[in-house]
């Protein structure tokens, strides 16, 4: 898909649907003063992903865009290769399954044997050759205008979202210039990235000129995933780990953390920045738009 210059520059192609009925549930609690509270709480449900006849994984997800999640997961795990044709993606909402059918031979069984438990997660695994693919990564040139960064942060933070509605959820946004294109949310932050990868694969959108924004921390796994997706710029309102920074520098990814109001810090690939905005003229974050400090 070629993004037309005539597209509105401030309209999402996909925005969050905080009002969608299946994504949240009313839950009753009792507050500090003993008052009954009716809370709108995000769902978390299992989705089992199959590649051809093989069951691969069961993901815990809010449940939107299961096809994109399955495609993006398989792609980001290296289980769907370049040139492999996806014949169909079948979602069954009663069985909570997605089956991705391809014309290729899979090599994932060996991958499943070697697992790395990753940061920010329960019992996470990165399949064995996640790091291996990095040597070949060459990220496209990109220019990052700080004026665009500030515009993006403001647009994303003021977009109605499940996070603002119910909290306890991560967001990831694929952006181009000052425009947020696709805003995905999920209880697992990597699900949100995978849904974006699945959308890019489905719509044939390349990583050139893109920036990935995440509400989550910039750990090694997030940096690796972004680099393997070919996206040259990764930004977050949260912090970062030393190894995340180190890998970003190795692969030439522009890494921007702690992006809040006028503040940010660039940890890697600073040469891509075009400082065309005066930070003094940027408003501090509205209090109401601040993340609620959830982890």
Supply the minimum distance, in Å, between the C-beta of residue 187 and its own copies.
4
SS3 85: coil
Residue with tokens 């500090």: 32
SS3 23: helix
Chain length of the chain: 295
Using the minimum distance from each CB to its own copies, give the nearer residue, 5 or 26.
26
Supply the minimum distance, in Å, between the C-beta of residue 4 and its own copies.
32
Q: How far apart are CA 238 and CA 227, in angstroms?
A: 18
Using the minimum distance from each CB to its own copies, give the nearer residue, 102 or 191.
191
Report which of 168, 35, 56 is spatially closest to residue 102, judged by C-alpha positions.
56
Q: How far apart are CA 246 and CA 233, in angstroms?
A: 15
Residue 183 corresponds to which tokens in the numbers above?
């805003």
Report which of 136, 130, 137 is spatially closest to residue 76, judged by C-alpha positions.
130
Q: How far apart are CA 262 and CA 240, in angstroms?
A: 18
Using the minimum distance from each CB to its own copies, give the nearer residue, 3 or 142.
142
Supply the minimum distance, in Å, between the C-beta of residue 11 and its own copies.
26
Using the minimum distance from each CB to its own copies, give the nearer residue, 42 or 156.
42
Using the minimum distance from each CB to its own copies, give the nearer residue, 56 or 89.
56
Supply the minimum distance, in Å, between the C-beta of residue 5 and its own copies.
29
Supply the minimum distance, in Å, between the C-beta of residue 285 and its own copies.
9
Using the minimum distance from each CB to its own copies, give the nearer residue, 81 or 117.
117
Report which of 252, 191, 187 is spatially closest to residue 223, judged by C-alpha positions.
252
Positive or negative, the Cα torsion across 265, 270, 273, 277? positive
Nearest-10 crossing angle of helices 66-76, 189-203: 90
Supply the minimum distance, in Å, between the C-beta of residue 85 and its own copies.
24
Q: How far apart are CA 132 and CA 87, in angstroms?
A: 27
Supply the minimum distance, in Å, between the C-beta of residue 218 and its own copies.
8
Using the minimum distance from each CB to its own copies, give the nearer residue, 2 or 288.
288
Instruction: Using CB atoms within 10 Å of the CB of residue 55, give its burial: 0 to 12 exposed, 13 to 18 middle, 19+ buried.
Output: exposed
């Amino acid at each position: 898909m070629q993004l037309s210059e005539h597209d509105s520059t401030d309209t999402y192609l996909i925005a969050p649907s905080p009002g969608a009925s299946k994504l949240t549930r009313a839950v009753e609690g009792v507050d500090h003063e003993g008052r009954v509270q009716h809370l709108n709480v995000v769902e978390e449900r299992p989705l089992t992903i199959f590649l051809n006849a093989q069951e691969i994984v069961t993901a815990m997800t809010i449940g939107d865009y299961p096809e994109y999640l399955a495609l993006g997961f398989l792609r980001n795990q290296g289980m769907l290769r370049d040139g492999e044709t996806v014949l169909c993606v079948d979602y069954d909402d009663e069985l909570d399954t997605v089956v991705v059918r391809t014309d290729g031979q899979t090599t994932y069984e060996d991958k499943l044997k070697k697992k790395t438990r990753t940061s920010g997660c329960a019992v996470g695994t990165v399949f064995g050759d996640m790091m291996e693919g990095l040597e070949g990564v060459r990220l496209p040139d990109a220019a990052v205008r700080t004026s665009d960064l500030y515009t993006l942060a403001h647009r994303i933070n003021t977009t109605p979202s499940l996070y603002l509605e119910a909290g306890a959820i991560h967001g990831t946004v694929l952006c181009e210039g000052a425009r947020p294109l696709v805003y995905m949310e999920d209880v697992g932050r990597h699900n949100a990235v995978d849904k974006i990868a699945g959308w890019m694969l489905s719509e044939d959108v390349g990583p050139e000129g893109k920036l990935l924004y995440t509400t989550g921390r910039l750990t090694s796994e997030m940096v690796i995933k972004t680099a393997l997706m070919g996206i040259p710029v990764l930004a977050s309102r949260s912090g970062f780990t030393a190894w995340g920074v180190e890998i970003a520098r190795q692969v030439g990814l522009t890494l921007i953390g702690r992006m809040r109001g006028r503040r940010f810090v660039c940890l890697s690939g600073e040469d891509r920045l075009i400082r065309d905005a005066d930070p003094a003229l940027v408003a501090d974050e509205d209090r109401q738009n601040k993340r609620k400090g959830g982890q």
